[in-house]
Amino acid sequence: MLEDDFYATVKLKTGEEIFTKVAAEVEEDRTILLLSNPIIVAELKGRHGVHGYKLEPWLKTTTEDLFVIDLDDVLTMSESNDIEMISMYQTFVRQTQKSSSGNKSKLSKEMGYLANVRDAKEILEKLYKSS
């Protein structure tokens, strides 16, 4: 291990900019970065400048929270001591972990009408023809 975990903004060679908790390790002849819950931060701008931030996961189609990238894929990296940004990150991670830990409800007929594709197609065709 090179250094303890730290918060950082990482700019990848692909142009992506992410905020994450980073741990660096030397593996054989290369340095790898372990990214914990990387997020993308977008500024929400109004008429009078920035009035908020939108946080979203870096990769949206996975439930993994730890990613490994090669240091060669990084354009630049800046350690962050911004308490506000770190607090937003930690809150986002807690909420994401809480929502993915079994709070999902199962589908039921009480939630609304359920139909198969054929039945739904017939209903929609009848509605279209009658209008």
- From residue 85, give the alpha-carbon distance in Å to each of 18, 31, 125: 12, 26, 51
pLDDT band at 26 (very low <50, low <70, confident <90, very high): confident
Kindly report the average pLDDT of the chain as a whole number.
84
Q: Would you kindly state where each structural domain of the chain is located, as residue ranges?
A: 6-102
**CATH number of the domain at 6-102, please?**
2.30.30.100
Stated pTM of the model? 0.69
pLDDT on residue 104? 57
pLDDT in tens, 43-91: 888 888 777 888 999 998 988 899 999 999 999 999 999 999 999 999 9
